[in-house]
């Protein structure tokens, strides 16, 4: 790892100030994506701004028709949140599938979303529920937030403070887990909230998380696996790597979407 | 250099470190607590697992400066001062839950976290599922699982 200066602000404002003074600086949340990349010397931040002492950035709370999760909330704490499990088990199941128990003890929702790894789970949940990402500057709809592989709409010095998920009556996540890394080879999040139907896919697209509008249209009549029976998505635009071909990933999208719909209706 | 202070196995410690120093390096190289191992150095194998304020974490993926002020427990902190092993350590000895022993400290620290999260009555499926973050390269899982089941029960006594 290259060396850096280390800072531990106690407020979001201080953290933003530190980023402004250190243009090559990086925010550190749980560190379970950033530190491995730094160890490989693929990232060389001049300064690390550790958010762990900033107050009021973690916790799960219900606000009206939404569940608001602080950016520094650890995966284990979201997965174990009783209020979330009661209200939206489909969302609570997402962090429980990330990495391994020790990774879930440290990794955070804000870190996962800001990193936007093309195989990460939370981006599918955000897009699949139409979440709002709340930063120190503004509110960003999930539809506008994820702009491509490892890239987001976040500007310089912008810090995710919390994420607000609208409560959907039906929601579920199905993931084909890579057995070694625990990442999603393909993951599909489906939800229905009144007329708003969403099918979001992670792990498959060569440009990161995306929605399957053809499935969403077909589900408008009836939100059930049967409605998309026999439907497929084209392999063009799917990721190709040592683990799976574009055709296999496209196939998995349809299979996992049907399984997620069955789970959401169970 | 920066100064870092924390509590390790109940003792207050302080050290001068570069900001890039990992917690596992600080434990092994500054404090000479070499029971915490570095296996893969990529957050996969779990040989470096310690408890940070009572919760298991991989010390190879944590900066020493990130745990300023925290309370750390390593494998060296489990046995009683007189040398009497912790019930989980004793169960690993009794059931021969190790072959080469390299993964053992991480396995035991992980096992204690499994008990914290799931209680003292563990079934084989839960133990195997929850050992997702630990790798035994000897593939000696059978006795490790047996040891954790017995150790968890012994801890309730």
CATH of the domain at A30: 3.30.43.10
User: Where do the domains of chain B lie, and which CATH numbers do they carry?
Assistant: 2-75 (3.10.20.30), 87-156 (1.10.150.120)
- Best to test chain A binding among B17, B24, B53, B58 (most A CBs inside 10 Å): B58
DSSP for A92-159 reads HTTGGGSS-HHHHHH-BHHHHHHHT-TT-SHHHHHHHHT-EEEESS-EEEHHHHEEETTEESPPTT--
Do A39 and A139 belong to one domain? no
Provide ipTM, 2 decimals: 0.96
Q: Assign A116 a pLDDT band (cuts: 50, 70, 90).
A: very high
Which 8-state DSSP code applies to residue B115? H
Segment A69-81, tens digit of pLDDT: 999 999 999 999 9
- Best to test chain B binding among A2, A6, A7, A18 (most B CBs inside 10 Å): A6
DSSP for B24-40 reads HHIIIIIS--TTS--SS
Cβ within 8 Å, pair A101-B42: no
Position B12 scores a pLDDT of 98
Cβ atoms of B97 and B147 within 8 Å: the answer is yes
Would you say residue A55 lies in a domain? Answer: no
Look at residue B12 and give its three-state secondary structure. Answer: strand
Query: Structural domain tally of chain A?
Result: 2
- Among chain A residues, the shortest Cα distance to B58 is held by A102
Tokens 């490790």, residue located:
B144
For residue A206 the two structure tokens come to 């060569």
Do A225 and A98 belong to one domain? yes
Do A104 and A190 belong to one domain? yes
DSSP for A151-195 reads EESPPTT--EEEEEEEPPSEEEEEEEE-TTT-SEEEEEEEEEETT
Do A175 and A96 belong to one domain? yes
Mean pLDDT of A93-119: 97
For residue B97 the two structure tokens come to 């839950």
Do A34 and A79 belong to one domain? no
Cβ atoms of B47 and B37 within 8 Å: the answer is yes
Nearest Cα to A3, choosing from B3, B40, B5, B17? B17
Of residues A182 and B134, the one with the higher pLDDT is B134
- Among chain A residues, the shortest Cα distance to B67 is held by A52
Pick B133's closest partner by Cβ from A4, A8, A102: A102
Segment A7-52, tens digit of pLDDT: 999 999 999 999 999 999 999 999 999 999 999 999 999 999 999 9
Cβ within 8 Å, pair B57-A1: no
Do A139 and A245 belong to one domain? yes
A96: containing domain: 60-265
Cβ within 8 Å, pair B61-A36: yes
- Best to test chain A binding among B26, B41, B42, B43 (most A CBs inside 10 Å): B43
User: What's the whole-number average pLDDT of chain A?
Assistant: 97
The Cα of A95 is separated from the nearest Cα of chain B by a number of Å equal to 15
- Among chain B residues, the shortest Cα distance to A47 is held by B19
Do A257 and A125 belong to one domain? yes
Segment A142-151, tens digit of pLDDT: 999 999 999 9
This prediction has a pTM of 0.96
Do A16 and A113 belong to one domain? no
Position A8 scores a pLDDT of 97
Segment A197-241, tens digit of pLDDT: 999 999 999 999 999 999 999 999 999 999 999 999 999 999 999
Nearest Cα to B52, choosing from A106, A79, A100? A106
Q: Assign A121 a pLDDT band (cuts: 50, 70, 90).
A: very high
Task: Find the chain B residues whose C-beta atoms sit closer than 8 A to any C-beta of A.
Answer: 2, 18-20, 41-44, 46, 49, 55-58, 61-63, 65-66, 68, 110, 113-114, 117, 130, 132-133
- Among chain B residues, the shortest Cα distance to A2 is held by B20
The CA angle A151-A108-A99, to the nearest 5 degrees, is: 90
Do A91 and A16 belong to one domain? no
Neighbours of A195 (CB within 10 A): 6
Nearest Cα to A114, choosing from A138, A139, A130, A135? A135
Do A235 and A170 belong to one domain? yes
> Does pLDDT of B157 surpass 90?
no
Cβ-proximal residues to A128 (8 Å cutoff; 6+ apart), any chain:
A171, A173, A188, A189, A190, A191, A198, A199, A200
Q: Which residues does chain B have within 8 Å of residue A99's beta carbon, measured at their own beta carbons?
A: 43, 133
Helix (H) or strand (E) holding B109: helix B104-118
> Does pLDDT of A191 surpass 90?
yes
For residue A257 the two structure tokens come to 């979407």
Do A86 and A193 belong to one domain? yes
For residue A255 the two structure tokens come to 């299979």
Look at residue B157 and give its three-state secondary structure. Answer: coil
What is the distance between the alpha carbons of residues A209 and A123, in angstroms, rounded to a whole number?
Answer: 6
Q: Assign B72 a pLDDT band (cuts: 50, 70, 90).
A: very high
Do A80 and A146 belong to one domain? yes
> Does pLDDT of A179 surpass 90?
no
CATH classification at residue A222: 3.30.465.10
Q: Assign A181 a pLDDT band (cuts: 50, 70, 90).
A: confident
A28 touching B (Cβ < 8 Å): yes
Cβ atoms of B33 and B21 within 8 Å: the answer is no
């Amino acid at each position: 790892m290259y060396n850096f200066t280390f800072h531990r602000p106690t407020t979001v404002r201080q953290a933003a100030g530190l980023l402004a003074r250190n243009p090559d600086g990086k925010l550190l949340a749980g560190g379970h994506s950033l530190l491995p990349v730094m160890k490989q010397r693929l990232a060389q931040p001049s300064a690390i701004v550790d958010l762990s002492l900033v107050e009021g950035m973690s916790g799960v709370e219900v606000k009206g028709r939404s569940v608001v999760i602080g950016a520094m909330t650890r995966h284990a704490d979201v997965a174990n949140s009783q209020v979330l499990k009661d209200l939206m088990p489909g969302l609570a199941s997402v962090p429980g599938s990330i990495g391994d128990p020790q990774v879930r003890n440290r990794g955070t929702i804000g870190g996962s979303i800001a990193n936007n790894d093309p195989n990460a789970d939370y981006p599918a949940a955000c897009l699949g529920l139409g979440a709002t990402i709340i930063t120190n500057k503004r509110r960003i709809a999930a539809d506008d937030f994820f702009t491509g592989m490892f890239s987001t709409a976040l500007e310089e010095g912008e810090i995710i403070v919390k994420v607000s998920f609208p409560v959907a009556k039906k929601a579920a996540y199905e993931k084909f887990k890579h057995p070694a890394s625990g990442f999603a080879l393909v993951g599909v999040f489906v939800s229905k909230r009144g007329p708003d139907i969403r099918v979001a896919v992670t792990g498959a697209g060569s440009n990161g998380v995306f929605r399957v509008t053809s499935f969403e249209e077909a589900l408008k009549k009836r939100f059930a696996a049967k409605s998309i029976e026999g439907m497929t998505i084209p392999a063009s635009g799917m990721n190709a790597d040592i683990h799976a071909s574009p055709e296999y990933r496209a196939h998995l999208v349809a299979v996992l979407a049907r399984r997620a719909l069955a789970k959401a209706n169970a | 250099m920066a100064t870092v202070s924390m509590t390790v196995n109940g003792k207050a410690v302080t050290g001068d470190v570069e900001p890039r120093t990992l917690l596992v390096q600080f434990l092994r190289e500054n404090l000479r607590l070499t029971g915490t191992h570095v296996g893969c150095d990529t957050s996969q194998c779990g040989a470096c697992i310690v408890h940070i304020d009572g919760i298991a974490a991989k010390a190879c993926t944590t900066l020493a400066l990130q745990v300023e002020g925290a309370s750390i427990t390593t494998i060296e902190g489990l046995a009683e001062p007189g040398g009497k092993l912790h019930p989980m350590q004793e169960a690993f000895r009794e059931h021969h839950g190790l072959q080469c022993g390299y993964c053992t400290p991480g396995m035991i620290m992980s096992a204690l976290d499994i008990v914290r999260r799931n209680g003292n009555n563990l079934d084989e499926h839960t133990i195997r599922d929850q050992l997702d973050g630990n790798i035994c390269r000897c593939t000696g899982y059978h006795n490790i699982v047996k040891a954790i089941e017995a150790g968890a029960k012994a801890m309730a006594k």
